[in-house]
Structure 1
Amino acid sequence: MILYHRSPLEPWPAIAASGRLEPRWPREGDWPRTVHFTDEVDKLPWGWDAATHPLVVKVDVEAEAWSPWGRAHVPRNAWASLGIHPVTPSPWGHDVTTNNVHSGHWYVTTRTVPSSSWLEVLRLDTGEVLWTPASS
């Protein structure tokens, strides 16, 4: 499945040096650490855009849809703020907020994603390609 991982630029040197995306979210909480993706590069959480998260790692990886995974692993009191729909999805939109309007496009894995699964890394704000399989 072709998916996109978005990040600020600051972690890129460490990601490039390690050659992998590590499950690191959430920083706190009692549920499993994850790597998050979208199936469309611009379907991000509220407050994330090309200015705040210009780094895009395009990957070919198996991942689970966020809402069903979240219902199974995230405490219910955190669902609304994290874009986890009580049902998938609500046809009436009552569970959709500006924070999670794109959550139907989000995916998650608890596995490390090695660079052998990466297809390309680029900066959306400049269009610069930072990594390709040929450059590794």
Structure 2
Amino acid sequence: MKLKISFPEERVKSPILSEVIIKTGILVSIVSSHVDSKGGEIIIEVIDKSYEAIKDEFESRGVAVQLLDTLICRDEKECVDCGACISVCPSKVFGYAEDWSLTMDTQKCIRCGLCVGMCPHQALSIDGTDCE
């Protein structure tokens, strides 16, 4: 299960991630991270049954937690296999098959949304509304 942890500016210098891991004993995998002096976001992966405990600990420290439970969706009718999504995806979700059609491995998706913004045909979404 993937979670997006959003740190406000005033909490960036606190060792929140370490504190939560020590307090809960729940190990996390960091999937993606961007933190600077103005705030930041970390996407982590935890075992499904650990979600509530780790969410509560982060929130008690003034950090927002969002469950990332919707997969990236592609509208096959709109997609023209241009590959714009390939160039921006940090997780290598997209690729080309031997026939040059676009392929996707949605399990790699960290729901960052970069591909959605890059797609010139608006064929991608991460909100689940365009999934069949």
TM-score (norm 2): 0.24
Larger Rg: 2
Query: 1 or 2 for the larger relative contact order (CA 8 Å, sep ≥6)?
Result: 1
Query: Greater helix percent: which structure?
Result: 2
Q: What TM-score results when the alignment is normalised by the length of structure 1?
A: 0.23
